[in-house]
Structure 1
């Protein structure tokens, strides 16, 4: 602990080796998404490193202190608006893709192509790539050099628009 207080990088490496797997598992139980858990753990470890001088061994064990920081970071992450929107969009795309193969799905049979033509060009591009080409949001962002958040926003707004079209047909 003295080495950590002295900002010894090798001490942080040792700490990471000893506790990262356990802390990651706990964070993953809270956030449920591996990529988010990795980001949260990294942020938490930076916070631990930067605030190690605030750790008081008289108040509790080091692991408990680190666990509380990781837990709080994970809770903050799932409460964030970005996480909630991302989850809704990812869940929707996973549900759509999981039950359909490109051979089985013929959108023209239910008029989806006609509905998609009513979307903005940006929304139409994202929907075409996601649901008819089978690309993930990350793949679209990489292939078309569009920020991932923008892809998710376009997908979400397109889904909202399409749901209005479906409600109008019922």
Structure 2
């Protein structure tokens, strides 16, 4: 099934479309989610929540505003960030045992391979160093623009402008390749 065939079926709430959508996009969405949520069980829960949100909100998708994949990717990323900021998630992570710290340190190589799996890392490497640093904070570490502003010690307006410029540069590389 192609994306063009999938979207009308999703709008009509055809259950076959849900299965097809999951088969088409679950691996790449999971990679984005797992990059933010290090616990695989939690990441799988967020993936499931993401697909439910896509299913429930498909009527809000507008192809004139962007590609379907970009839309669902943003839903996955935002759902993961919401999970990270939730009170329950933060409370459950307050008392980590030593095994969790070993897991987090050892997980870095797997995180990098997840990023490589979706092919973004090679494109980001082509960007200017300030773009690499900003995109790392905003998209891979889940910082808000305000948090990135504080971390980089630059005004929020500069963060917003640089983010827009960096995304446009990234789009240029993605269209060339």
Task: Please report the TM-score for the alignment, with normalisation by the length of structure 1.
Answer: 0.53
2:75 pairs with 62, 69, 74, which one? Answer: 69
Q: Which has the higher contact order (CA 8 A, sep 6+)?
A: 2
In structure 2, relative to structure 1, the CA distance for the partners of 1:3 and 1:95 (3 Å cut) is closer
CA distance in 1, matches of 2:16, 2:79: 24
Distance in 1 between residues matched to 2:67 and 2:102, nearest whole Å: 46
| Number of the residue aligned with 2:55 | 49
94, 103, 107: which one aligns with 2:99: 94
Structure 1, gaps ≥5 residues long: 99-170
Matches of residues 20-35 of structure 1 in structure 2 within 5 Å?
20-35=26-41
The match for 1:81 among 78, 82, 87 is 87
Structure 1 counterpart SS, 2:63: coil
Q: Equivalent residue of 1:51, what SS?
A: helix
Task: Extract structure 1 runs of 4+ deviating beyond 4 A.
Answer: 95-98
Shift of 1:93: 5.2
Q: What's the offset of the Cα at 1:27?
A: 0.2
**Separation in structure 2 between the aligned mates of residue 80 and residue 5 of structure 1, nearest angstrom:** 30
How far apart, CA to CA, are the structure 1 residues paired with 2:44 and 2:27?
Answer: 11
Give the equivalent residue in structure 1 for 2:22: 16
The structure that has the greater radius of gyration is 1
RMSD: 2.1
Give the whole-Å Cα distance in 2 for the aligned partners of 1:71 and 1:27.
6
**Structure 2 CA distance, aligned partners of 1:76 and 1:24?**
15
Scaled by the length of structure 2, the TM-score of the pair is 0.51
CA shift in 2, pair 1:10/1:93, >3 Å: same
Provide the aligned length of Structure 1 versus Structure 2: 97
Q: 1:13 to 1:94 in 2, by over 3 A?
A: same
